[in-house]
Amino acid sequence: MYFSSALFFHKINWLTNLTLKSIIIFALAGFIIAVIFENWAFTNNEWSYSSEMPLLPFSTMGILPVLQMMLLPTITFYIAKKIFQKKKRKYTTAN
């Protein structure tokens, strides 16, 4: 995912410039990936949900798997950016 993002942003160290725009792009990409995967899984009878799974309105897809694909990559990249910035500050102040 990092490499595909580098290709998309045309920058190998795109994480250092993580912006609201890129966060929105990740969330939308996660939504699209989740919808495609969920549709594939249901079409191929790979799994099903219990009656307790909250569903997206007007669909048979669970809200939680879709939210997971939208939020986890975004949060992971945000945390990685903060760690990178902290290490960068530590390195620049040490030299």
pTM: predicted TM-score of the whole model, two decimal places: 0.72
> pLDDT confidence of 95, banded at 50, 70, 90?
low
Q: Kindly state the average pLDDT of the residues 9-26.
A: 81
Q: Kindly state the average pLDDT of the residues 46-63.
A: 87
For 13, 25, 52, 59, 64, the CA distances from 43, given in Å and listed in that order, are 38, 27, 21, 13, 19
Q: Kindly state the average pLDDT of the residues 37-49.
A: 87
Which residues, including other chains, have CB under 8 Å from residue 5's CB and lie 6 or more apart? 14, 22, 26, 77
- The residue that leads in pLDDT, 40 or 17, is 40
- pLDDT in the model for residue 91: 66
